[in-house]
Amino acid sequence: MPQAFVLINTEVGAEDEVFEQLKRFSQVKEVYLVYGVYDIVARVEADTLDELKDIVTWRIRKIDKIKSTLTMLIAEK
């Protein structure tokens, strides 16, 4: 089952709002507010690599107030 960590930068002050929206997606298995270069880290899981790509591209990246993302596919768990 393909998985990825998605590192997310939000607009200033929008971290909690984006965090709550991410928790609503069934494919987002874990989500954390973090300090540092990124604001949020999410672990996303899907049945196929194409589905994983679609979730990140068409659902997560379309959330209002997300400025940028960096997706890292998990090679091995």
DSSP-based helix, strand, coil % in the chain, nearest 5:
25, 35, 35
The model carries a pTM of 0.94
Q: Is residue 69 within 8 Å of 7, Cβ to Cβ? A: yes
Domains: count for the chain: 1
Range of the domain at 62: 3-73
* Cβ partners under 8 Å of residue 68, min gap 6: 8, 9
Give the pLDDT score at 24: 97
Residue 5 has pLDDT above 80, yes or no: yes
pLDDT band at residue 77 using 50, 70 and 90 as cut-offs: low
Q: 44-72: per-residue pLDDT in tens? A: 999 999 999 999 999 999 999 999 999 99
Average pLDDT, stretch 25-45?
A: 97
CATH code of the domain containing 36: 3.30.70.920
